[in-house]
């Protein structure tokens, strides 16, 4: 980066997106980059989620960095620990850990005299020219507000806080929730435990996705032929983006109809008992909640030791869960598969922008930014996974790379030296959010269901357009939409 200003940069979070940002920043010539990571190790969601059966629901050859192919994935959908190993290997290869400060949670970021003053739980860290937030979406566990939750005498924990080393063999296990997490746990735990009770508040649509092992010959072929490995990555991305992602935002009605049919047929042919099938049949549109991909849930829930409980949970007691029909479901372990607060984003950190207002204040009526990457009044503040990111559409790694590619262009502009502050114009942000509001009613997320895409104000947090539009918007900043000083 000869002739350019060396910037001091902070990245918040050492999950998949923060690691990628560090690699890209170093490649672009930025040497003074620090990642602040609240935990003691890297990996983000793949570090936190260690529950039995944890797996990615994007096929493994499509869920990797574009610049780091991997011929070794063991299964069509990689298990969580394998993805964590992949991230660790990438970190080792690029010598990333020397730039990561572990166990340092950023508690505040304050715009002061043209730089960001950062403070972590261990104290002030000084001033930075720009901040990249890479804090993820699925990391604040949501605990259910059930009376008596603290009275249970057995083990009780959230899926993202799995009790390592606890054997569930021969135990009576109750799982609350029926999202992707609970579905994966069901497939993994039913064969192992004595009794398995799944407490369902809302039935979920499931599409079948084969997740089995990748044969050795296939791996050997991919090792020898990187071109084929690359073609597989592109095929999976294209398949997902042109069919599923386009279908849910209303841009491919034929693909959507097919998706509906596939889910209906899968339920119909997999669940024989009409009473159980009725309980498992959702009353909302396919894809309104995040679609579940599974190859073993329906089979597992019909196993003789498994029970689907649809009576409302009344309270938790010393010995188990009491449902509204008066029955006490006696349990040894209760698992809260109750999801995450997806709208907190980088908070509880206090971020205070140009005019002294915090993000909490600016976002009091819901999170809003400009193109999901920047926020008016917060100069040199770049978000991977900011408001209205495509959280339910494309592979997260592809999303993160596109968003960071865009942010990098803004950072490089700062490094050129004639500009030291970049923030989106309020008018540009207003226009973007207006377009979001116009587009969202055409998406399946707005057809009437509760989901983690929707915040408490009723705003839908995802990207309501196609991948092509996302890629085009992220390809080059519209410089007229920014204020620069
Ligand atoms: P989700 O998809 O948010 O699912 C949470 C589940 O927990 C869902 O079935 C909820 O029912 C249920 N839930 C939440 N609170 C309660 C209470 N109080 N009582 C009963 N049931 C409750 O989280 P996951 O962890 O499964 O998946 C998150 C994402 O991770 C997933 O989409 C993938 O992208 C990976 P509800 O539907 O609200 O009635």
Q: For residue range 279-335, what is the model confidence (pLDDT) as tens digits?
A: 999 999 999 999 999 999 999 999 999 999 999 999 999 999 999 999 999 999 999
- Does the CB atom of residue 478 touch ligand 1 within 6 A? no
Q: How far is the CA of 178 from the centre of ligand 1 (A)?
A: 6
Q: Considering the chain, what percentage of its residues have pLDDT values greater than 90?
A: 97
Q: For residue range 402-446, what is the model confidence (pLDDT) as tens digits?
A: 999 999 999 999 999 899 999 999 999 999 999 999 999 999 999
Report long-range pairs for 270-278 (Cβ below 8 Å, ≥24 apart): 270/298, 270/299, 271/298, 271/302, 272/302, 273/302, 276/301, 276/302, 276/308
Q: How far is the CA of 144 from the centre of ligand 1 (A)?
A: 10
Residue-by-residue DSSP string for 181-229 = HHHHHHHHHTTTSSEEEEE-SS---EEE----BPPHHHHHHHHH-HHHH
- Considering the entire predicted model, what is its pTM? 0.97
pLDDT of residue 5: 85
Using CA atoms, how far residue 209 sits from 266, 269, 303, in Å, is 11, 15, 20
Ligand 1 probe mutation, 56, 142, 338, most atoms within 8 A of CB: 338
pLDDT of residue 3: 57
How far is 160 from 54, CA to CA, in rounded Å? 10
Q: How far is the CA of 346 from the centre of ligand 1 (A)?
A: 21
Q: How confident is the model at residue 172 (pLDDT cuts 50, 70, 90)?
A: very high
- Does the CB atom of residue 363 touch ligand 1 within 6 A? no
Using CA atoms, how far residue 461 sits from 264, 346, 391, 436, in Å, is 27, 15, 8, 10
Q: How far is the CA of 339 from the centre of ligand 1 (A)?
A: 4
Ligand 1 probe mutation, 177, 199, 291, 390, most atoms within 8 A of CB: 177
Q: How far is the CA of 114 from the centre of ligand 1 (A)?
A: 41
The residue whose CA has the least distance to atom 24 of ligand 1 is 339
Q: How far is the CA of 77 from the centre of ligand 1 (A)?
A: 21
Q: How confident is the model at residue 1 (pLDDT cuts 50, 70, 90)?
A: low
**Looking at ligand 1, which atom is closest to the CA of residue 391?**
34
Q: For residue range 448-465, what is the model confidence (pLDDT) as tens digits?
A: 999 999 999 999 999 999
- Does the CB atom of residue 384 touch ligand 1 within 6 A? no
- Does the CB atom of residue 177 touch ligand 1 within 6 A? yes
Q: Is the pLDDT of residue 2 over 90?
A: no
- Does the CB atom of residue 24 touch ligand 1 within 6 A? no
| Nearest partner of 478 among 414, 424, 427, 434, judged by Cα | 424
Q: How far is the CA of 84 from the centre of ligand 1 (A)?
A: 23
Q: CB-based contacts of 36: which residues, under 8 Å, 6+ apart?
A: 10, 11, 12, 13, 101, 104, 105, 106, 118, 120, 125
pLDDT of residue 4: 75
Q: For residue range 60-119, what is the model confidence (pLDDT) as tens digits?
A: 999 999 999 999 999 999 999 999 999 999 999 999 999 999 999 999 999 999 999 999
- Does the CB atom of residue 290 touch ligand 1 within 6 A? yes
pLDDT of residue 127: 98
pLDDT of residue 380: 98
Q: How far is the CA of 157 from the centre of ligand 1 (A)?
A: 14
């Amino acid at each position: 980066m000869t002739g350019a200003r060396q910037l001091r940069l902070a990245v918040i979070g050492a999950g998949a997106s923060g690691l990628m940002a560090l690699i890209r920043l170093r490649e672009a010539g930025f040497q003074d980059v620090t990642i602040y990571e609240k935990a003691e190790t890297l990996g983000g969601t793949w570090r936190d989620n260690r529950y039995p059966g944890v797996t990615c629901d994007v096929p493994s050859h499509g869920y990797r960095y574009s610049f780091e192919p991997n011929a070794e994935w063991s299964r069509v959908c990689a298990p969580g620990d394998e993805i964590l190993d992949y991230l660790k290997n990438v970190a080792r290869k690029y010598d990333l850990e020397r730039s990561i400060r572990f166990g340092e949670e950023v508690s505040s970021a304050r715009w002061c005299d043209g730089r960001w003053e950062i403070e972590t739980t261990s104290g002030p860290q000084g001033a930075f020219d720009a901040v990249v937030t890479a804090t993820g979406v699925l990391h604040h566990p949501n605990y259910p507000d059930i009376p008596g939750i603290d009275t249970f005498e057995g083990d009780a924990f959230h899926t993202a806080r799995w009790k390592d080393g606890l054997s569930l063999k021969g135990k009576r296990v109750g799982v609350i929730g029926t999202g992707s997490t609970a579905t994966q746990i069901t497939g993994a735990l039913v064969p192992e435990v004595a009794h398995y009770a799944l407490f369902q508040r809302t039935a979920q649509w499931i599409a079948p996705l084969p997740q089995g092992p990748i044969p050795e010959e296939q791996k050997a072929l991919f090792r020898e032929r990187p071109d084929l490995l690359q073609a597989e990555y592109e095929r999976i991305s294209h398949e997902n983006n042109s069919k599923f992602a386009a279908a849910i935002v209303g841009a491919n009605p034929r693909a959507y109809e097919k998706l509906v049919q596939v889910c209906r047929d899968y339920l119909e042919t997999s669940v024989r008992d009409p009473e159980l099938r009725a309980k498992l049949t959702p009353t909302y549109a396919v894809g309104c909640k995040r679609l579940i991909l599974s190859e073993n849930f329906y089979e597992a829930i019909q196993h003789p030791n498994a029970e689907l409980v649809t009576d409302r949970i009344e309270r938790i007691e010393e010995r188990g869960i009491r449902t509204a029909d008066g029955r006490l479901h006696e349990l040894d372990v209760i698992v809260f598969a109750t999801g995450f607060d997806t709208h907190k984003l980088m908070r509880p950190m206090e971020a205070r922008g140009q005019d002294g207002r915090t993000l909490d204040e600016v976002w009091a009526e819901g999170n809003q930014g400009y193109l999901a990457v920047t926020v008016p009044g917060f100069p040199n503040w770049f978000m991977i996974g900011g408001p209205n990111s495509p959280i339910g559409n494309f592979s997260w790694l592809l999303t993160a790379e596109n968003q960071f590619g865009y942010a990098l262009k803004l950072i490089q502009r700062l490094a050129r030296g004639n500009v030291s502050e970049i923030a989106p114009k309020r008018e540009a942000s207003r226009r973007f959010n207006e377009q979001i509001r116009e587009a969202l009613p055409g998406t399946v997320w707005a057809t009437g269901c509760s989901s983690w895409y929707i915040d408490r104000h009723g705003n839908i947090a995802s990207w309501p357009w196609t991948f092509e539009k996302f890629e085009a918007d992220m390809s080059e900043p519209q410089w007229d939409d920014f204020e620069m000083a």
